[in-house]
Amino acid sequence: MSTKISTGISYVDHILGFLKAGDNVIWEVEAGCYIETFLQRFIEHNLKSGYHLIYVSFNASPSTLTKRLSHLSHLEHLTVLDCFTSGKGNSDPLFAQFYEKEREGFRGHVIKVENPKDHSQFRVAIDRIEIEKGPGVRYIFDSLTGMQDIWGDENLTYKFFTYSCPRLYDLQTVAYWVLEKEAHSASFKANLKHITQVAIELEKKDGELFFKAIKIEGRFSKTAFLPKHYEVWDEEIIFPSIGGRRPSNLGEKVRSLRKKAGMTQKELAEQVGLTPSFISQLEKNLISPSLDSLLKLSEKLNTQPIYFLVESESSPLQKLVIRSDERQEIQLPSIRGKDVKLQLLISDSLNRRMEPYLLTLKEGAIVKGHFYSHKGDEFVYVMAGELEVEINNENHILKQGDSLYIGSTFPSKWSNRGRGEAVILWILSPPRSGL
């Protein structure tokens, strides 16, 4: 039995019955159908699964492509074969400067084909990669249309496909091939679909997006070939017919409060007993939480459950009195570890005009830089202990009862030089924005 290979999108896997080793997948797309998102999900899934992936780019500059993919993990398994710079890019210095200024900052590999207009040179480059990487490598050819444009011959493009398709099948890999819907002859497209194992159309009708399987070799389903309406929200593909829905403001409320609390998705997930993936999908409005999860979220985000349930964009309900055991602990991106403890002294609200904190530094604690690059005024009052604060290369000693006003200049270091903990009241005006 063939190994199931995911597209990176669960419902597409369901429609296709998954991909199989040896599949060549033709994507015939209209403009504005977000093919880049389908490609990115495939790339992301395969890199995470430990597979090498070759991205053959005729349609995007290496700068644009690497910026789009730079946030992905395991980029060491990704190789970009750049056929754009010396192809569609006409060796313009604007595109070529990627190799001088940006290449070193990208964690994947980029190989430039010096003359992709010479189809024999391009074929040599592909063959070399096939030999080097061996079986199982995934491929994306981002534009058969771009390939045809620089070769100027539909027959050459078809010959390359008929040459490569069986080879990739024998290598037991999966390859994506993208072509623009109106850029090729009907006979060219018919011949491609005859040879390939899987063919998919992405089209737009009356402003709505549709996914349609045209061919799925060796897999049978009564509904697979019916058009499926899909939407793209925040780089996620959802199918409303299976419970996907347009975002409400629930996810935005959770995300805003989480960022106000200085927590990552992973940290919030750990506190409420959920997974980071659940929090990520919740914030994108792709799923809905259970009542129990909603109660836990409201507790950790220091608001009342009703705030998440109302449809208005109003702020969280403000608690007038915060008891000492009700203070919300905050984690700022610049501070990690147990030497510094930060507690919010009021209820988290989106429309307050100042933000007071209780900041505790353990004996010997040193914070390089400032706690937060705040665009506003700050007031510091030392309630206990002794602090050394470095501002503009000058050291200032603050003892119990001393205060400090911070305007446009940020401290470059905080140190607890005394015995015991140093406790300060720290007030920001206006409050910090979402991190």
Q: What is the reported pLDDT for 346?
A: 79
Residue 23: closest CA among 179, 178, 166: 166
Q: What's the DSSP call for residue 220?
A: -
Residues sharing a CB contact under 8 Å with residue 232, sequence separation 6 or more, in sequence order:
34, 37, 209, 238
- Give the CATH fold of the 250-309 domain: 434 Repressor (Amino-terminal Domain) (1.10.260)
Q: What is the reported pLDDT for 245?
A: 43
Q: Which residue has the tokens 């507790």?
A: 299
Residue 299: closest CA among 357, 333, 352, 348: 348
DSSP track, 39-82: HHHHHHHHHHTT--EEEEESSS-HHHHHHHHTTSS-GGGEEEEE
Say how many CA atoms lie within 13 Å of 327 toward its Cβ: 14
Q: 385, 401 in Cβ contact below 8 A?
A: no
Q: 146, 87 in Cβ contact below 8 A?
A: yes
Instruction: Mention the CATH class of domain 324-429.
Output: mainly beta
Q: Which residue has the tokens 């030999």?
A: 131
Helix, strand counts (H, E) of the chain: 14, 22
Distances 407 to 301, 335, 382, 412, 425 between C-alpha atoms, Å: 29, 21, 18, 14, 16
Superfamily of domain 4-242: P-loop containing nucleotide triphosphate hydrolases (3.40.50.300)
Q: Which residue has the tokens 């490609």?
A: 39
Side chain identity at residue 136, one-letter code: G
List per-residue pLDDT tens for the chain, 435 residues long. 457 889 998 888 888 888 988 889 999 999 889 999 999 999 999 999 889 999 999 998 989 898 888 888 899 999 999 999 998 888 888 888 888 887 888 888 899 988 988 888 888 888 888 778 777 789 999 999 998 999 988 888 888 888 887 777 777 889 999 999 888 889 998 988 888 999 999 998 877 889 999 999 887 666 788 899 888 875 778 887 655 444 457 888 888 888 888 889 999 999 888 888 888 888 887 776 766 777 888 888 877 776 776 554 444 555 667 777 777 777 765 566 678 888 888 765 545 667 888 989 999 888 888 877 666 788 899 999 999 999 888 889 999 999 988 876 778 888 998 889 999 998 887 766 443
Q: Which residues are paired to 178 by β-bridges?
A: 27
Exposed (0-12), middle (13-18) or buried (19+): which is 105, by Cβ within 10 Å?
Answer: exposed
Q: Which residues are paired to 46 by β-bridges?
A: none
Q: Which segments of the chain belong to CATH 1.10.260.40?
A: 250-309
In residues, how long is the chain? 435
Distances 95 to 86, 89, 98, 100, 157 between C-alpha atoms, Å: 9, 7, 6, 10, 25
Per-position b or e across 233-261, b if 16+ CB within 10 A of its CB: eeebbbbeeeebeebeebbebbbbbbbbb
Q: What is the reported pLDDT for 246?
A: 45
Exposed (0-12), middle (13-18) or buried (19+): which is 285, by Cβ within 10 Å?
Answer: buried
Q: What is the reported pLDDT for 382?
A: 92
Q: Which segments of the chain belong to CATH 3.40.50.300?
A: 4-242
Q: 54, 174 in Cβ contact below 8 A?
A: no
What residue spans of 180-239 are helical by DSSP H?
186-195
Residue 123: closest CA among 72, 167, 160: 160
Distances 222 to 53, 196, 199, 219, 388 between C-alpha atoms, Å: 32, 21, 17, 10, 73
Q: What is the reported pLDDT for 213?
A: 92
- How do beta strands 328-330 and 403-406 pair? unpaired
